[in-house]
Amino acid sequence: MLIKRLKNKIKTIYYHSQIKKKTETVIPKEIKSTCILLFNIGIGDAIISTGIFRNLKKFGYNVTIITNSSVSFIFKENKNIDKIIEISNDNNWIKEIKNFHFDLLIDTYSYATDYFTYNYLKVIRKLKYKYFIGFEGRYNDIYNYNYIPSSKKIHQTDVYRDLLEKIDIKDPDLSYEINIPILDRKKARKFIDTLKKEKKIIVFCPFASTNIRSLSTKQIEYFLSEISNMNDVIIVIIGENEKIKKISTNKNVLVNPLSSFYGALAIIELCDLVVSVDTSIVHASNALNKKMISIYSSVFIKKYNGNYLFSPNYRNAVQIIAPNNRACDLQISELCNIVKKELRN
């Protein structure tokens, strides 16, 4: 592992040396085509980024994104994106990007880790572009503009706002968008119609991408027992199928019967309250403007606290910061009390 890191560090230095250094000021009127680098990211990051596409398209820019296949489905129905290029192991994307020249390249994630920097520079050196703007880029000399905010308590949308203003898009609306397929909506409606009409529906997502950010079996059992005992509530559990199918159910606790991510979102669209430790569900709930309680266990990314940088960021959300940044350390009775309060409001 240490040898691999050293090799990547040497390659990073080499990739940096291959990228043209930038000194000129960005001139917005010279920009027509844009390319946004959005790979090595998660579904939540993809959802947050949707506002920047809408603003670029509104002001007449051509919008291309370079992303990873695991999140590209979020972008495929987005009418504000003209071209999606997927990074793949077969390297066919390298041949594809050789055919493009962009007036503006945008990077907001390469700073995150050494691995991100390595991967991003590996791609950037292959691209042809006039201007390059970014956020906290490690090598300042490759950017025409590198946004380094004075405050570290910022949200990812603040980053997009600053970069858009650099090309004269003032006061942009950076609300999120999510496009749920009609078929998933129909399936969700059919499922919801089988439930008792007088009951409130809670969508519960107890699992995140890591164990410490997920609720424990004991916490899940306590929560389900406490909340399902309320006479007017039905809980629908969403998440990875292999994990949620192990959870005990009853007449008021059901497992999501729709296996796709969009199926889960279609149910969220019809529910009364969302409770989630998974930030992709948090940001999807934002896009749908659903009442939501989130449990955050974020880490620092460089100097930025993920609890701020990727916070829910809308009025209908309650954000709980887990003790020690570990959802598994949360007093689950606290969560239950907040849920009961939100259901009364």
pLDDT tens per residue across span 33-88: 999 999 999 999 999 999 999 999 999 999 999 999 999 999 998 999 999 999 98
With DSSP H G I counted as helix, E B as strand and the rest as coil, what are the percentages for the chain, rounded to 5?
A: 40, 20, 40
Class level of CATH domain 182-344: alpha beta
pLDDT tens per residue across span 203-234: 999 999 899 999 999 999 999 999 999 989 99
- Angle of helix 2-18 versus helix 114-124 axis, rounded to 10: 40
Q: Is 336 exposed, middle or buried (0-12, 13-18, 19+ CB in 10 A)?
A: middle
- Res. 168 pLDDT band, cuts 50 70 90: very high
Q: Start-end ranges of CATH 3.40.50.2000 in the chain?
A: 2-166, 182-344
User: What is the reported pLDDT for 180?
Assistant: 97
Strand intervals (E) in the chain: 33-38, 62-68, 83-87, 102-107, 129-135, 145-147, 200-205, 233-237, 253-255, 273-276, 292-296, 300-301, 304-305, 317-321
Alpha helices in 207-252 (DSSP H): 217-228, 241-244
Residue of 49, 36, 300, 75 lying closest to 156 (CA atoms): 49
More confident call, 319 vs 4: 319
Predicted TM-score (pTM) of this structure: 0.95
Class level of CATH domain 2-166: alpha beta
Q: Is 194 exposed, middle or buried (0-12, 13-18, 19+ CB in 10 A)?
A: exposed
**Amino acid identity of 253?**
V
